[in-house]
Amino acid sequence: MRAVYYFILTVMTLNLSGCGQDYSLSPPADSEQITVTVKVPKELIAETMQVIYRSTHCTFTDYTASGKSYQRDEYHRTDIQPERQGNDLYVAKLAVNGGGSCQWRISNVTFGVTYEKPEQFGGYVNSGSGGGVVVVFDHNNSPRGGTGIKVDGDLFIRKDYYPWVKENFIGGYSKRISLAGEGDIYLGYQAMQARQVYFEPVLHSGFVVYSAGPKIKKEGNYTTITYPDGSVETDGRWGPSIRKLQAIRLAAESQQ
């Protein structure tokens, strides 16, 4: 696999209900490219990128909540595995012009990091959420809703993350290792002029936060959150406070 990667996807055809139109991507050789680079810390891996292309030339019929029909831009999703370059950089090149008879244009990309070996946090631990990014390159909403923070020019993202071990009991037991950071699961950006997107998650692996959901669904039963300094919160918060995690880490580092 080479970094002309540029699309190993070139011929992926979307078969839509009874329409004979060719919906495949076919980026021209001289198409402008967006380079997405993820710097991956030890313990984590780069997730598969999900790229959405849209077309105003190919449309489909959708319906409002009241049942009224309207025409929407067609969309084409393709998945790309970023290519490793050096020890910790993973890179993918995305064609801006997707080509084909639909004249596809790139709309957004979703990517991120997750734990490579969740079992390091104990038996039966699965990978959870967090550590994701969605970048929108046009005026359309992302698959996660909204267009995100507007950025002019290229996009550079460097954010702190903390290991978050979550236990849930109601509806069946589960234990997951997630990444606690700013926002929810995904950071969202709209970067319509960006041709370089760089994401550097900084993992503070020595500051693990734990949460345990209630075992019985009852008013007053809340999730228990235990921070790296031993402090506990049961105030109805669904997840840990990133501000508190940052304060705990900075205080610990200042004493070293």
Q: What are the structure tokens assigned to 134, written together?
A: 């969605």
Give percent of the chain with pLDDT exceeding 90. 69
- Average the pLDDT over 28-53 and give the result: 96
Q: Would you say residue 22 lies in a domain?
A: yes
129: which residues sit within 8 A by CB, 6+ positions away? Answer: 176, 178, 179, 185
The angle formed by the CA atoms of residues 215, 243 and 42, to the nearest 5 degrees, is 85
Domain that holds residue 95: 1-161+186-201
What pLDDT shows up at residue 16? Answer: 38
How far apart are alpha carbons 90 and 116 in whole angstroms? 15
The whole-number pLDDT of residue 47 equals 97
The pLDDT score that the predictor gives to residue 192 is 97
Separation between Cα atoms, residue 73 and residue 51, nearest integer Å: 16
Domain contains 223? no
Q: Are 96 and 85 in contact (CB under 8 A)?
A: no
* Residue-wise pLDDT tens digits, 107-164: 999 999 999 999 999 888 999 999 999 999 999 999 888 899 999 999 999 999 999 9
Q: Which H or E element spans position 69?
A: strand 69-80
pLDDT the model gives residue 20 = 53
Confidence class for position 60, pLDDT limits 50, 70, 90: confident
DSSP 113-148: EEES-GGGG-TT-EE-S--EEEEE-SSSPPTTSS--
- The answer to whether position 253 is within a domain reads no
Question: Is 177 part of a structural domain of the chain?
Answer: no
Measured distance CA(226)–CA(209) in Å, rounded: 6
Structural domain contains residue 245: no
180 is a domain residue: no
Q: What is the pTM of this model?
A: 0.86
The domain tally of the chain equals 1
Q: Is residue 2 part of a domain?
A: yes
The answer to whether position 24 is within a domain reads yes
